[in-house]
């Protein structure tokens, strides 16, 4: 391992420990790392958009004579009207375009994937003769009750309230499960960092002594 790489990795190791110092309390090292990561990442994103969106999607098509790309160019430039107090309303058509396209794409797909498909998957054969059938009954009851929790036009009282309460219990079990499933992934991230630091200090030790 060369000296240059050792130094670069040293920088990385220093930054890693600066972030971890936050766990004890806020301190100058953490502040330094925090401001560095914000600045560097904002610059990084400017690069990504320049090289992956601005150049290939606007400049190159325009150069190639696809002049209709002037439309998004203008819509984009209109956003810059925000710099002027007087003309900032000019940015609204662009806003309308972006929000409209987002909403338009989302509507049919939300209905398809989060409603109809889920409804289809819940229409299961039911019964009390075998365990899978009983499980299906449970799934359907739990979906009903959890949906009852999301009713806004009826007070959660009486039998309906009981259903909504059972619904919230179902949600809580789901949240607990979601939490439990996640611990592993978070620990994996920490383990990866610990291995990085371990390897670096081993290298440093080897280089120094």
Partner 1 sequence: MPIISSAELQIQSNNEFFPSNTNVKSNPFFKVLFLFLCFLLIDSPLSFAAEDLSESWFNPNRLNMLIFLILFFAVIIYFIQRAKKGKSLFIRRIAGLDAIEEAVGRATEMGRPVLFVPGIEDVNQIQTVAAMIILGNVAKMVADYDTPLFVPICRPFVVPVAEERVKEGYAAAGRPDAYNRDNVRYISDEQFAYAAGVQGIMLRDRPMANLMFGSFFAESLMLAETGFLTGAIQVAGTANIHQLPFFVVACDYTIIGEELFATSAYLSKEPKLLGSLKGSDLAKAIIIGILALGAILETLGITQFTRWFFIE
Partner 2 sequence: MRREIPIAICFLVGISFILEYFIPHEDVLSIFETIRQWAIIVIAFAYVLGIANLVRINSHVIQRKGRDWPYKIILVVSLFFMITVGIIFDIFGIRLGGIGEGTIFGWVYFHAQYPLQATMFSLLAFFIASAAFRAFRIRTFQASLLAVTAILVMIGRVPVGESLWADFPDFIEWIMNVPQLAGKRAIMIGAALGAISTALKVLTGLERTYLGGE
Partner 3 sequence: MTFYERMMNLDRRWVYLVIGLVVVVTAIWSFAVPLYVTPEVRSVYDFVESLVPGEILMIGVDYDPAALAELHPMSYAITRQCFAKDVKLLLCCLHQNGPGMVEQVVAQVAEEYGKVNGVDYVYLGYKPYPGITILAMGQNFRIPFPEDYYGTPLDSLPMARTLTNFDNVKAIINISAGSGTEYWINYANGRYNAKLAIGVTGVMTADYYPFLQSGQIFGLIGGMKGAAEYEYLAEKGGYITREKGQLWASKSMPIQTTTHIVIILFIVIGNVGYFMSKRKK
Residue 169 contact among partner 1, partner 3, partner 2, none, beta carbon within 5 to 8 Å by kind: partner 2
Spatial CB neighbours of 143, under 8 Å, sequence gap ≥ 6: 122
In the bound state with partner 2, the residue whose beta carbon lies nearer, of 35 and 202, is 35
Burial group, residue 160, by CB count within 10 angstroms (0-12, 13-18, 19+) = middle
Which one of partner 2, partner 1, partner 3, none interacts with residue 123, CB within 5 to 8 A by kind? partner 1
Closest approach of Cβ 113 to partner 3, in Å? 5
Q: What is the CA radius of gyration of the chain?
A: 28
Binding to partner 3 by residue 183, rule CB under 8 A? yes
Site for partner 2 in 116-175 (CB under 8 A): 118-119, 121-122, 135, 138-139, 142-143, 145-147, 149-150, 167-175
With both helix axes pointing from N to C terminus, report the angle between 28-49 and 3-20 in degrees, rounded to the nearest 10.
Answer: 110
Tell which one of 63, 92, 154, 198 touches partner 2 (CB under 8 A). 92
């Amino acid at each position: 391992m060369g000296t240059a790489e050792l130094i670069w990795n040293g920088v990385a190791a220093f930054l890693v420990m600066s972030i971890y110092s936050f766990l004890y309390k806020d301190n100058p090292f953490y502040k330094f790392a925090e401001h560095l990561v914000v600045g560097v990442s904002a610059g990084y994103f400017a690069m990504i958009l320049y090289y992956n969106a601005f150049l290939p999607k606007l400049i190159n098509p325009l150069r190639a004579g696809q002049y209709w790309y002037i439309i998004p160019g203008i819509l984009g430039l209109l956003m810059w009207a925000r710099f002027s107090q007087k003309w900032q309303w000019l940015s609204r058509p662009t806003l309308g375009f972006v929000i409209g396209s987002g909403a338009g794409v989302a509507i049919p797909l939300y209905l398809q994937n989060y409603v109809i498909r889920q409804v289809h998957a819940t229409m299961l054969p039911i019964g009390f003769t075998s365990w899978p059938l009983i499980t299906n009954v449970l799934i359907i009851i739990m979906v009903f009750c959890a949906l009852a929790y999301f009713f806004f036009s009826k007070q959660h009282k009486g039998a309906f309230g009981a259903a909504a309460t059972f619904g919230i219990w179902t949600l809580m079990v789901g949240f607990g499960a979601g939490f439990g499933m996640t611990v592993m992934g978070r620990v994996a991230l920490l383990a990866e960092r610990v291995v990085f630091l371990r390897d670096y200090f081993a290298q440093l030790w080897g280089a120094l002594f």
